[in-house]
A and B are shown apart, each in its own frame.
Chain A
């Protein structure tokens, strides 16, 4: 079974996760606070209970910006 390919940012890096799983499980496995990211597949946001499966390319996009001005 093909892995789920995951793109992370700041810094930009990629990893592969094996097995199908829900978005909430993926974030929990990666120890990422769900309040700080969006999970995007093919330009569409995937909800926390959405399933990720074989061959999916997903981006975990941070939503925090640091400018104070």
Chain B
């Protein structure tokens, strides 16, 4: 197997491109595809400050690494979920990476800062763990970005993630979700802009990127995710991809090009109904936002509100109630 570019021995085959790559040209491909996604969807403007949502997994560490190499000002945010050894190990990977790159890592810890963890909190709130986890992440990433003055939240969603989510949304015709499934969600109504620069790269490529770059990431699956629907969708799509390479790419990018627009009005209608949460001030379609209801049901607390701060009027820059702790990394610029 030879590299398509230089004819040296290849380390990886990418069947949807019908091509093989050596280590150096594979890394170049990953960077080029990231740049292409950023430009194609107008994700980031020059000089903007980025906050990368870091889990300690392959995708978030890879995109952080690529963005730093591309010269972006990108800090990381790690959210401690309180999932026992898994959280300990994933946090260690995030910190080790930040230290190795001299990058700034912000940390928020659910048990310490909000008084609940995902395993017990989701049970108490009668939510499935992945739902409570996703809700907590979305809220706290948004909040940290607004509070910290970041222009963009970057997530490590890759082509496989997006194709699997699309598959699930289509199977159930969740048209409101389909209207929001975009590689860029613009900033509005108190939400920061959110971008997914890895949508042109597959899951296998991101794992390979980390191995080639020597990035130590958490390999083991989250114990709370075992058997979830999302994994089942990925398995189904991979079975199709095995016999028909390129299917996931065509499914997702075909949706963006030919169908996404059709579902946009429904999603935009929802956005028009947003108002400030009575507890934390975050934008919500209900009186109290889903995160505050989760915190309450999970037996947690808001560190912000214990300081006596009160929510204020909803604006493009949400009220700053409390800043997340910035954990200094030795040798890193903070």
Contacts and interface: CB of A to CB of B under 8 A. Distances in A.
B231 interface: yes
B1 A68 contact: no
A42 B211 CA distance: 11
Given A33-B239, A36-B238, A48-B1, A64 B203 contact: yes
Interface SS of A by simple majority? loop
B208 A45 contact: yes
Contacts of A12: 220
A34 B15 CA distance: 10
Contact of A33 (B13, B57, B208, B238): B238
B222 A66 contact: yes
A18 interface: no
Nearest to A61: B219
Interface string B191-230: 0000000000001101110011010000111100110101
B222 A9 contact: no
B211 A67 contact: no
Contacts of A63: 58, 203-204, 206-208
A64 B238 CA distance: 10
A68 B130 contact: yes
Interface in B125-182: 130, 133-134, 137-138, 160-161, 165
Contacts of A67: 55, 57, 130, 133-134, 222, 225, 230
A68 B189 CA distance: 23
Interface residues of A, number: 27
Contacts, number: 96
Given A36-B204, A64-B203, A69-B134, A47 B221 contact: no
Nearest to A50: B1
Interface residues of B, number: 43
Given A68-B130, A69-B134, A61 B207 contact: yes
Nearest to B245: A35
B10 interface: yes
B160 A64 contact: yes
Contact of A66 (B10, B11, B231): B231
A38 B211 contact: yes
B304 interface: no
A24 B207 CA distance: 18
A35 B241 CA distance: 8
A45 B238 contact: no
Interface in A4-51: 9-10, 12, 33-38, 40, 43-50
9 contacts: A9-B220, A35-B15, A35-B238, A45-B11, A50-B1, A63-B204, A65-B221, A66-B226, A66-B234
Given A64-B160, A64-B203, A68-B134, 13 more contacts: A9-B219, A12-B220, A34-B242, A36-B204, A45-B212, A47-B11, A61-B207, A62-B219, A63-B206, A64-B221, A66-B226, A66-B228, A66-B234
